[in-house]
C-alpha cells in the first residue's frame, strides 16, 4: 500500500524501513507537519501516517479524503489531534498504537524528577566550567515522600511501581480506577485533592476535554508548597502560564516537562541558529529549577520498534480488509 508518512525523522525512518523489510508497503517520507499547507502532498495515498503534532482537523481530513486517503494511522498513543466527527462522516478509519513501551515514558519521568531534585543539570554545567561548588545543589530524599500519579493507565502504573521502589507513598487520581494500580496496594484520592498531599505530581493521562489544563492556577494554589511537577504526557494538561506564576512564588518547587502546549512550533526541529519567538517558552526555560526535553520520553529502541511494527501491521490489516485491532472509535 502507498503510505504518506508526515513528520518523519531520520532516526524514525530506519525503524519504519526495518518494519517494512518485506517491502509490502511503499513508504513515502515527508519531514513536514501535516496541515492545510502541506495536505496536498498526500494526494493519491490510500494511507496517511501522522505523529503527535500533525493536524487532522475537519478541513485537513476533508482534503485527505478528496485525495483518496481512507486510512489515518497514528504512530502514537494519543489522538487528541484528530477530529473524529469528521473522520466518521467521511468513513475514514483511524488506527493508533495502543501501547508500545510504558517503561520508556515512565523511566523518562523518573529521570526528569531525579535531575530536578538533585540539580543534575546545574551540576553538569558547573563542573564543565571547573566549578565544583555545592552551594544551591541540595535536594531531598525521595524515600518517604508522597507522589501523586495523575492517570493510572499502563504508564502511570509503571511509574507508580518505580516510585514504590524508592520507598515513596503513592496515591492515584483517575476517574477510571485501575485494578493493576489497586493491586499494588495503592488507593485513589478525589480529583479536587490533586497536589494537596503530594510532594511530587506526575501526569500520565490523555489529553481530552475533561483533562485540558487539569493542572491550573487553582490546582497549583492547593498544592503543597515546593512540590515538583512532571509532565511526560501532553502539553495541554498543564496551564503553562499558571505554572510560571507558581514557579515565581516558589509554590512550585520544580518543573520537568517533555511536552509543551505550543510544542508544534518548536519540537522535533533544530532551531539552535534561530531566534525562538515563543515568549512563554523562553520565560519557562529561564528558571533554574525547570528542565524541558523535546518530547523524547518515548524514544527508546524498544518503543520505536513496537510503534513502527504496530503501525504497519494496522496498514496491512486495512489493505487486506481484516479487523483493525488498533482502531480508534470515539462515540
Marked catalytic residue, from 25, 75, 234, 261:
234
189 vs 86: CA distance, rounded Å: 36
Using DSSP bridges, classify how beta strands 93-95 and 146-150 pair: parallel, antiparallel or unpaired: unpaired
Could you confirm whether 274 is annotated as catalytic? Answer: no
Marked catalytic residue, from 263, 274, 302, 319:
263
Q: C-alpha distances in angstroms, 86 versus 34, 59, 62, 330? A: 16, 9, 8, 11
Determine contact, residues 212/234, Cβ cutoff 8 Å.
no
Marked catalytic residue, from 295, 301, 302, 309:
295
228, β-bridge pairs: 200, 254
Q: Residue 149: which of 218, 200, 115 has the closest Cα? A: 200
Determine contact, residues 207/233, Cβ cutoff 8 Å.
yes
Instruction: Find how far residue 271's CA is from the centre of its chain.
Output: 21
Contacts of 235 (CB under 8 A, 6+ apart): 207, 257, 259, 260, 261, 262, 263
262 vs 113: CA distance, rounded Å: 22
Could you confirm whether 118 is annotated as catalytic? Answer: no
324 vs 151: CA distance, rounded Å: 26
Could you confirm whether 263 is annotated as catalytic? Answer: yes
Q: Which residues are catalytic?
A: 234, 263, 295
Amino acid at each position: 500500500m502507498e503510505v504518506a508518512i508526515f513528520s518523519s525523522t531520520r532516526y524514525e525512518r530506519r525503524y519504519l524501513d526495518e518494519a517494512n523489510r518485506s517491502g509490502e508497503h511503499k513508504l513515502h517520507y515527508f519531514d513536514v507537519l501535516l496541515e492545510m499547507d502541506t495536505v496536498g502532498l498526500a494526494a493519491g495515498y490510500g494511507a496517511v501516517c501522522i505523529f503527535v503534532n500533525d493536524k487532522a482537523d475537519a478541513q485537513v481530513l476533508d482534503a485527505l479524503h478528496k485525495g483518496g486517503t481512507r486510512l489515518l494511522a497514528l504512530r502514537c498513543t494519543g489522538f487528541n489531534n484528530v477530529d473524529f466527527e469528521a473522520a466518521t462522516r467521511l468513513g475514514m478509519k483511524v488506527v493508533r498504537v495502543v501501547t508500545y513501551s510504558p517503561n520508556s515514558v515512565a523511566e523518562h519521568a523518573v529521570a526528569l524528577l531525579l535531575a530536578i531534585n538533585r540539580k543534575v543539570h546545574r551540576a553538569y554545567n558547573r563542573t564543565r566550567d571547573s566549578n565544583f561548588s555545592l552551594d544551591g545543589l541540595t535536594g531531598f530524599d525521595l524515600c518517604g515522600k508522597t507522589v501523586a500519579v495523575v492517570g493510572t493507565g499502563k504508564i502511570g502504573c509503571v511509574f507508580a511501581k518505580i516510585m514504590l521502589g524508592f520507598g515513596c507513598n503513592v496515591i492515584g487520581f483517575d476517574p477510571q480506577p485501575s485494578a493493576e494500580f489497586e493491586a499494588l496496594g495503592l488507593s485513589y484520592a478525589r480529583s479536587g485533592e490533586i497536589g494537596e498531599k503530594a510532594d511530587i505530581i506526575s501526569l500520565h493521562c490523555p489529553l481530552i476535554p475533561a483533562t485540558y489544563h487539569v493542572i491550573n492556577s487553582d490546582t497549583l494554589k492547593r498544592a503543597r508548597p515546593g512540590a515538583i511537577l512532571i509532565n511526560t504526557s501532553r502539553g495541554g494538561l498543564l496551564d503553562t502560564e499558571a505554572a510560571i506564576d507558581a514557579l515565581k512564588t516558589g509554590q512550585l518547587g520544580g518543573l520537568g516537562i517533555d511536552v509543551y502546549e505550543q510544542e508544534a512550533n518548536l519540537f522535533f526541529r533544530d532551531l539552535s541558529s534561530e531566534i525562538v519567538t515563543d515568549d512563554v517558552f523562553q520565560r519557562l526555560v529561564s528558571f533554574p529549577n525547570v528542565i524541558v526535553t523535546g518530547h523524547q520520553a518515548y524514544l527508546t529502541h524498544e518503543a520505536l520498534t513496537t510503534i513502527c511494527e504496530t503501525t504497519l501491521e494496522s496498514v496491512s490489516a486495512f489493505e487486506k480488509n481484516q479487523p483493525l485491532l488498533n482502531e480508534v472509535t470515539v462515540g
